[in-house]
Copies of this chain bind each other. A is one copy, B any other.
């Protein structure tokens, strides 16, 4: 069987493990596009301490690049898959569609997009820009970090849920077969816990119980996922009300029934005494932008449209938006009147 070609955009803690795992399975040839860690990885390769793959030094995928391939200009064959493992921040250009465009003709039917990104409605921009392109959902529960460029510490197993986003412009059997094919090549390496999971909305809403709630609450308060459980009143005053709003919205919007136990399970997902910082908190600590639109804005807008009352998420969203503006202003992306 000929190997599938996979272009992975983003080689941080999540993309690097995806690259390693895909090549370890032997069914894929990976081209990895890097930005901030390109120089280090291109010269010395990655070093991994991985609970799934062991300790590995000086590893590189088949191809490492620092630009998105321009398939037309470079006369490259279309990739079988383009996997996006960058942050997805639609309110800060470039959008992921803009990012991927040089490697993906707008009339493409060959390449399948895999969005290894969080949040809701992230497939929607591709439905307009690349209407006939199958788009897959990758919901990852991995624990992985990049404490220094090119050094990946992967300490929670790579649990990945793969399914096809619904797309009225292509047959659902085509979309599903692409999802099953990608599931196969991603599962080929023995230790990975990859699941073919056609109920994409269920998987996405389930993860939003964490990502629309604990994630922004920790970011805004500066309390990690352990401390938020210790701070008097924070679970009952903030976390649980927010989670209950997501559970109601999941039901109203996506016909997704989340078990009542999901609240307890999600709160206790990160071990208390690890004092782990959710992604938005890490991003704010570094002065980076936060993925608040897909993680918080979209579920809020969808929930409200479906008539769900979401007062807690509304305020969290507005605060996150103001905090994002602050970071834009600090980076000179917004002009303000001079101080008098």
Contact = CB atoms under 8 A, between A and B. Distances in A.
Given A223-B325, A319-B221, A323-B222, A340 B273 contact: yes
Given A311-B314, A311-B315, A329-B227, A238 B337 contact: no
A232 B325 contact: yes
A233 to B, nearest CB: 6
A237 B226 CA distance: 30
Interface string A225-239: 011101111100110
Given A230-B336, A234-B318, 11 more contacts: A217-B319, A221-B319, A222-B326, A230-B329, A231-B325, A238-B319, A271-B340, A273-B337, A311-B312, A311-B314, A315-B316
A217 B77 CA distance: 52
Nearest to A91: B232
A24 interface: no
Q: Most chain-B CB neighbours within 10 Å: which of A217, A230, A318, A336?
A: A318
A322 interface: yes
Copies of this protein in the assembly total 2
Contacts of A221: 319, 322-323, 326
B273 A322 contact: no
Q: How large is the interface on A (under 10, 10 to 19, 20 to 34, 35 or more residues)?
A: 35 or more
B322 A234 contact: yes
Nearest to A313: B315
The A interface is mostly helix, strand or loop, or mixed, namely helix
Contacts of A233: 318, 321-322
B318 A237 contact: yes
Contacts of A227: 325-326, 329, 336
Interface string A321-340: 11101100100001011111
